[in-house]
Chains A and B, each alone.
Chain A
């Protein structure tokens, strides 16, 4: 017998894809955070150790990875607020699909200025 559950209204469309996106970003952020606490812990080793590792992050390639991370966080955050509204707001379930477009809209509104600022800082080299 097929292992795929059949005939749920949740399959496909906005509800499912936002859920997939929420899962994938959640796991990605979690693994980032494990590494991030480890590299921050280098401040307890020595100022040199911390600065040396952080210096390797300050290049255009890492700037793109950071942009990807921020894109993931911003989506997860806004979609998380959407999930909370679906659960607690009376009209939430009715507007869930519309709210996903709201999430995407807000995501663009936050990401565009962020990318302009972050990438111009990263590609112009600072000091």
Chain B
């Protein structure tokens, strides 16, 4: 049988109550989330491809990565802002994406609420931790062996 590929216009208007999994209207939140997924996606392509290229393809690739490498990058505000934007956008994008998936598959209210609570707590912890790491980073910690540190620490 030939499969028809004509796509019908989506049904618009009110969704019958038995097909919604939440009680009240969520206003424009879902629309904002939908738009955010697309805008953040475009920016993330640049940020993540750049991150992978610089860390895996340039010079010795993965072999170059150590404390001194990270210290060298974060000495430059450019890479601090790069990583901070990547952290926040990727985590918000990923958290929202996983939220959608939980809403799709977890049909019981209890399961859904539990899973989403775990998701939000885990995401918040990671975003706060990642942000603190970038802002409180010390490239020349006292007491560390000099050969592990970037060369500018001797100055």
- Interface assignment of A54: CB less than 8 Å from any CB of chain B: yes
One of A9, A40, A46, A66 near B56 (C-beta < 8 A): A66
B38 on the A face (CB < 8 A): yes
Chain A residue nearest to B68 in the complex (CB): A47
Interface string of A3-24 (1 = CB under 8 A from B): 0000001000100000000010
Minimum CB distance partner of B131 in chain A = A37
**Which of A26, A121, A125 is close to B94, meaning CB atoms less than 8 Å apart?**
A26
Q: Which of B24-32, B108-116, B143-151 contacts A (4 or more CB under 8 A)?
A: B143-151
Question: Of the candidates B6, B44, B63, which one forms a contact with A58 in the assembled complex, judged by CB atoms under 8 Å apart?
Answer: B63
B interface footprint on A44-66 (CB within 8 Å = 1, 0 otherwise)? 10111011001001100001001
Q: Using a CB–CB distance below 8 Å, which chain B residues touch chain A?
A: 3-8, 38, 41-42, 44-45, 48-49, 52, 56-57, 60-68, 70-71, 87, 90-91, 94-95, 97-98, 101, 122, 126, 129-130, 132-133, 136-138, 141, 144-145, 148-149
